[in-house]
């Protein structure tokens, strides 16, 4: 190797470590901005997680308060109904005690009627009403037909009488009235049966 090349090699050999150190010391362009952006996003993520956790805790507390309030309202509604029913129960017990002592039937009947009226009044106070059925047109929303009976007094499809009274709560049917429904006049039914018999008779050989 010539003296010039050796000198040049020694010269470059001394410079290369300095260049590497300078390259390692200087970060790439935009790295600082990227680090700041990442740090900002991390803070935003932590804040968002914290906010979501607070919202979840608040919603859980809201649900618990709502459920507790609904239970209290239900208890108050039941309590109010029971308080309104107690006087009727008291009078019913008095009527039973009077009957046990041998008092007359009329007094017992009057006591039972009083209890019945008080019970209906207590139900009405809480929005529960009997369903009117007798004499009205059959309504499947409120009535349940248990029998169809010929009737000269009631048109076909109208309620003749109640087998069991129904009740509604506001516009909602709690229990449908079980009723007997008119099938029309007995004469019309008999005429229809005669026509059917005649039709069957015409088909018989003579």
What burial letters (b/e) apply to 58-72, b meaning 16+ CB within 10 Å? eeeeeeeeeeeeeee
Q: Is the pLDDT of residue 86 over 50?
A: yes
Q: What is the pLDDT of residue 25?
A: 54
Residues 100 and 172 both lie in one domain: no
**Which residue's structure tokens are 């129960």?**
89
Confidence label for 94 from pLDDT (cuts 50, 70 and 90): confident
Domain that holds residue 193: 130-206
Given 126, 145, 168, the domain boundary residue is 126
Answer whether residue 97 shows pLDDT above 60: yes
Statement to judge: residues 145 and 75 lie in one domain? no
Contact yes or no for 131/167 (Cβ under 8 A): yes
Mean pLDDT calculated for residue range 130-151: 94
User: Do 143 and 119 fall into the same domain?
Assistant: no
Choose between 11 and 156: higher pLDDT: 156
pLDDT of residue 35: 86
Could you say which DSSP state residue 94 is in? Answer: H
pLDDT higher at 86 or 29: 86
Q: What percent of the chain has pLDDT over 90?
A: 46
Instruction: Please say whether the beta carbons of 137 and 156 come within 8 A.
Output: no
**Inter-axis angle of helices 31-100 and 105-125, to 10 degrees?**
170
Given a contact cutoff of 8 angstroms between Cβ atoms, the answer to whether 140 and 162 are in contact is no
| Average pLDDT for 135-152 | 94
Q: Is residue 1 part of a domain?
A: no
**Full-model pTM:** 0.57
As a whole number of angstroms, the distance between CA 145 and CA 139 comes to 9
Average pLDDT over residues 151-174: 92
Based on C-alpha coordinates, what's the Rg of the chain?
46
What pLDDT digit, counting tens, does each position of 9-49 carry?
A: 455 554 555 555 555 555 566 777 788 888 889 999 999 99
Token pair, residue 153, equals: 């007094």
Task: Look up residue 180 and give its two tokens.
Answer: 């007997």
Position 194 pLDDT exceeds 90: no
Cα of 125 vs its chain's centroid, Å: 23
Domain boundary among 102, 126, 150: 126
67 and 93, same domain (yes or no): yes
Distance CA 199, CA 193 (A): 10
* pLDDT score for 204: 45
Q: 135 and 119 in one domain? A: no
Q: Which tokens go with 167?
A: 């009740």
Residue 136's pLDDT band (cuts 50, 70, 90): very high
pLDDT bin (cut points 50, 70, 90) of residue 125 is: very high
């Amino acid at each position: 190797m010539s003296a010039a090349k050796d000198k040049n090699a020694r010269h470059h050999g001394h410079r290369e470590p300095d260049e590497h150190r300078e390259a390692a010391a200087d970060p790439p362009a935009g790295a600082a901005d990227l680090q700041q952006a990442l740090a900002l996003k991390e803070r935003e993520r932590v804040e968002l997680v914290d906010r979501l956790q607070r919202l979840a805790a608040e919603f859980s507390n809201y649900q618990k308060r709502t459920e507790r309030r609904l239970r209290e309202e239900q208890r108050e509604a039941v309590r109010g109904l029971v308080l309104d029913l107690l006087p009727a129960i008291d009078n019913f017990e008095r009527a039973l005690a009077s009957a046990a002592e041998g008092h007359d039937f009329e007094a017992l009947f009057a006591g039972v009627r009083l209890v019945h009226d008080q019970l209906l009044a207590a139900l009405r106070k809480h929005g529960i009403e009997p369903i009117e059925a007798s004499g009205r047109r059959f309504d499947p929303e409120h009535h349940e037909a248990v029998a169809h009976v010929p009737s000269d007094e009631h048109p076909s499809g109208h309620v003749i009488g109640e087998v069991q009274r129904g009740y509604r709560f506001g516009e909602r049917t709690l229990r449908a009235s079980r009723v007997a429904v008119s099938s029309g006049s007995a004469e019309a039914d008999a005429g229809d049966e005669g026509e059917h018999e005649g039709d069957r008779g015409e088909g018989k050989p003579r």
